[in-house]
Amino acid sequence: MSRKYNLQINNQNFLVEILSEYDGKFTVNVNGTIVEVMDTSISSEVPIKNNYSDQENNSQIQLATEKENISPNQSNDKKNSGQIKAMMPGKVLEILVEIGDEVSLGTPLMIVESMKMENTISSTMSGKVTNIFISIDDSVQYDQIMIEIE
């Protein structure tokens, strides 16, 4: 059972679907991109204009900001391809699995520092780790294959 939301932020529309939640981690589809986020958030009041009125009210929204857990940049048709790719350039800080390890959907695979933030890269499928193409302290580039899972 999933929950869907249509959001408009800075005149951009986002279709957000919460696919699953386990142990404080959410698997979310944002406009066709599957990402993992932690239940870590901050609250802020922002003016929201109601569709049925011209009045603005201050309402609370929550945005995950402190430490993001990001899965590979994959659209729905590539969701189960088994290739874990870098979503952005960064540096590998930790590798949390080894070749031969069995992993489940959402299992943390590695920690990558990107834009001065530590990002936990999690598995987008269940299976066995068959290849690890990176090492600790490696620099990774956008869309670089880091781990393969079958």
* Coil, helix or strand at residue 76: helix
- Does the pTM surpass 0.85? The reply is no
> For residues 84 and 123, is the Cβ–Cβ distance under 8 A?
yes
> For residues 14 and 30, is the Cβ–Cβ distance under 8 A?
yes
What is the CATH topology of the domain spanning 76-149?
OB fold (Dihydrolipoamide Acetyltransferase, E2P) (2.40.50)
Listed in order, the ranges of the chain carrying CATH 2.40.50.100 are 76-149
Spatial distance between the Cα atoms of 69 and 133, rounded to a whole number of angstroms: 20
Among the listed residues 117, 29, 140, 119, the one whose alpha carbon sits nearest the alpha carbon of residue 74: 29
- Residue-wise pLDDT for 117-144, tens only, equals 888 898 888 999 999 999 999 999 988 9
Residue 95's CB: how many other CB atoms inside 10 A? Answer: 19
- Residue-wise pLDDT for 52-79, tens only, equals 544 444 444 444 444 444 444 433 444 4
**Backbone torsions φ then ψ of 78, nearest 5 degrees:** -110, 5
